[in-house]
Structure 1
Amino acid sequence: MSLIKEIKYSLHVAVRPFDGYWDLKYENKGRLRVALLVLLGVTVTMILKRQYAGYIVNDNDPLSLNSINEFKYIILPFLLWCISNWSLTTLMDGEGKFRDILIATGYAMLPLILINIPNILLSNVITLRESSFYYLFDSIGVIWFVWLLFVGTKTVHQYSVIKTISTMLLTLVVMGIVIFLGLLFFSLIQQIISFVYTLYQEITLRK
């Protein structure tokens, strides 16, 4: 399957998620490169949104934005979700492999691109009274994404509706725990480095 056809199929998944995710899982139609391409597309459109959305709906200062730093707000949560979900579902009899989770999550993010691009253009021509339409479309994109993520998680792991919802919520909890432990680890490393440096200074001064 060519890249163009694979991208077109990602649109099919977004519109008909039950059929689409089933084929991704059991007909091997899912492609990791498409999932990563969607991830890149979401990152780029979010950067464009922060920089070029109309001033009516944009509270960011374009001059102070760092495009490189913007990557961490999309890519890191994406990887953290996939790792946390894989770690959790391994203990909960999930059938999805890590690659399956990456693909399912990547394909689920497509609506964010489909909504962000026209929304950026819309934000530059609307008035303050019409800004509610901008936020409405933003909400539709997020709800669409969560819906696809739900269907993808359910299909990949072959869970029931209740188990899928509980798994997604627990995945968020695991993400929070990982972030907390990560911050604790870096704080501990920083304290150790500071202690060693202080000890080195005292030894040096006494000589």
Structure 2
Amino acid sequence: MSTWSKELIKYPFNLITHPFNGFWDLKYENNKKDNLFISFVVLFLLVITNILHSQYSGFLVHIYNPKGMNSIMEIVYVVVPVLFWSIANWSLTTLMDGEGKFVEIFNSTCFALIPLVIINFPWIWLSNVIALEETTFYYFSTSFAVLWFVFLLFVGNMTIHQYTPFKAIVTMLLTVVAMGFMAFLCLLFFSLVQQIISFVSVIYQEIVMRN
């Protein structure tokens, strides 16, 4: 394995254990193409983790019918929130003197997702062999992964934009609100498109039947 490959593998783990230095390097020191490549790999691994979790997790921690699983929706559940967060955060921080570019926000968000992969992936298989009394360890680990993710997201937001801790927290809360607004607009748009298609379909059927 080349030195470049080793560094590419080691860097994400160094970032999540030393986030302040890691996100600083992400913004100012590292190769931008390498960062984007790692971001897409992390996003892909999280999608795979979610799909496998839906299919193979033990029934003690995940009551789900595998036959009803939709792989496309599992991809949407991961990719869309990341894109919404990146777009909303970039839009807000542009108005709030943030120094982060869109690609930097996207990269820092994806890097923050790493604990959700490295902690949750082993539990897909372990959840099939644990007893009911041991599910506490599962819920503790998954909660810890979420808290670690939120902490990394906070540090990344603070470092990428060069914000104070308070301003970073305020920005993150406003980003969540903006994401909700974006989701509402998307639902409204798709509902409008659906109604237009339905209306055109009815008109077409009327014309065909009369002819």
Taking structure 2 as the reference length, what is the TM-score of the superposition? 0.92
Q: Give the whole-Å Cα distance in 2 for the aligned partners of 1:195 and 1:118.
A: 49
2:45 is the alignment partner of 1:41: yes
1:117 aligned partner? 121
| Gapped regions of structure 1 (runs ≥ 5) | none
Alignment deviations for residues 25-50 of structure 1 (CA, whole Å, 9 cap, x no partner) = 11135510001101111111111112
**2:172 alignment partner, one of 168, 188, 198:** 168
The partner residue of 2:26 within 19, 24, 28 is: 24
Structure 2: how far apart are the matches of 1:143 and 1:5? Answer: 26
SS at match of 2:133: coil
Q: Equivalent of 2:132, from 100, 124, 128?
A: 128
Does 2:99 align with 1:95?
Answer: yes
Please list the CA deviations of residues 128-153 of structure 1 after superposition, one character each: whole Å capped at 9, or x if unmatched: 11111100000000000010010001
Pick from 143, 154, 167 the counterpart of residue 158 of structure 2: 154
- Secondary structure in 2 aligned to 1:2? helix
User: What are the superposed Cα offsets for residues 74-129 of structure 1, whole Å, 9 maximum, x if unpaired?
Assistant: 11111111111111111111100011011101111110111012222321221111
Q: In 2, Cα distance between the equivalents of 1:27 and 1:198?
A: 59
Q: Tell me which residue corresponds to 2:181.
A: 177
Greater CA drift, 146-155 or 62-71: 62-71
Q: Which amino acid in the other structure matches residue 155 of structure 2?
A: V
Which residue in the other structure is 1:60 paired with? Answer: 64
Which of the residues 181, 186, 196 maps onto 1:192? 196
Q: Matched residues in 1 for 2:31 and 2:13: separation?
A: 13
2:144 to 140, 143, 146: 140
8 Å CA contact retained: 1:88, 1:171: yes
What is the aligned partner in structure 2 of residue 7 from structure 1? 9
User: In 2, distance between residues paired with 1:4 and 1:34?
Assistant: 13
| Structure 1 stretches of 4+ moved >3 Å | 200-207
Structure 2 CA distance for aligned equivalents of residues 194 and 69 of structure 1:
24
Task: Tell me the CA shift for residue 158 of structure 1.
Answer: 0.6
Give me the whole-angstrom Cα distance separating, in 1, the residues matched to 2:121 and 2:200: 51
- Find the aligned partners of 2:199 and 2:72 in 1 and give their Cα distance: 32
Among the aligned pairs, what percent are the same residue? 53
Label 1:62 to 1:197 Cα distance change in 2 as closer, same or farther (>3 A).
closer
Alpha-carbon spacing, 1:29–1:16, altered in 2? closer, same or farther (3 Å): farther
Q: CA deviation at 1:72?
A: 0.7
Residue 3 and residue 34 in structure 1: after superposition, are their counterparts in 2 closer, same or farther (change >3 A)?
A: farther
**Separation in structure 1 between the aligned mates of residue 207 and residue 48 of structure 2, nearest angstrom:** 51
Q: What code does the residue aligned with 1:199 have?
A: I
The C-alpha deviation readout for 1:148-190, integer Å capped at 9, x for no partner, is 0100010000111111111111111111111111111111122
Structure 2, unaligned runs of 5 or more: none
Q: Which amino acid aligns with 2:200?
A: V
Letter in 1 for 2:104: D
